[in-house]
Amino acid sequence: MLTTQTLATPVGPMQAVFSSAGLCMLEFAHSQRCAPQLAAVLRAKRLGANDLHEQASPASRALALELEQYFAGERLAFTQPLDIVGTEFQQSVWQALLHIPYGETWSYAQQARYLGRESAVRAVANANGQNKIAIVIPCHRVIGSNGTLTGFGGGLDAKRLLLNLERQATGEQPLFS
């Protein structure tokens, strides 16, 4: 069984999905990606829509508090247990995202180098695009090699807000206006 709850954030409502092992999904509730990401989680868990129950839980309350602290610039890292759903390669890419320091950005090429797969920049970018746990697994910290904002499931305005929030919380000037 999975539980879900929609959480209010400054970047819009986000759908959180939890298994008994941890957070499986945190997606922008109104994005086109939300339903396919949820379907992928259900498939991976070999569950159907009837196995998803909307309810508040200690885990969803804890995540809501951590997100509130994050958006207030008071939380630099999340402590939620994660139940990451994806291929072995995707999981390695997403684990690399967890090593990008708060308030900093990497390019897709830097991320590929970190993984020891310099020639896999496009595959790394595609895997980032399949990240099912936005913000907590910080795919928003990856930008184009030329320093520009690139795609983000929550939209470029949300990505800009997240990056600038982190920069300001560390005393740095925003990078993106």
Active site residue ranges: 139
User: Tokens 């400054």 belong to which residue?
Assistant: 10
User: Tokens 């129950």 belong to which residue?
Assistant: 53
How many other CB atoms sit within 10 Å of the CB of residue 27? 24
Task: Find all residues with CB under 8 Å of 60, minimum gap 6, and list them.
Answer: 3, 5, 7, 16, 18
Supply the DSSP symbol for 14.
E
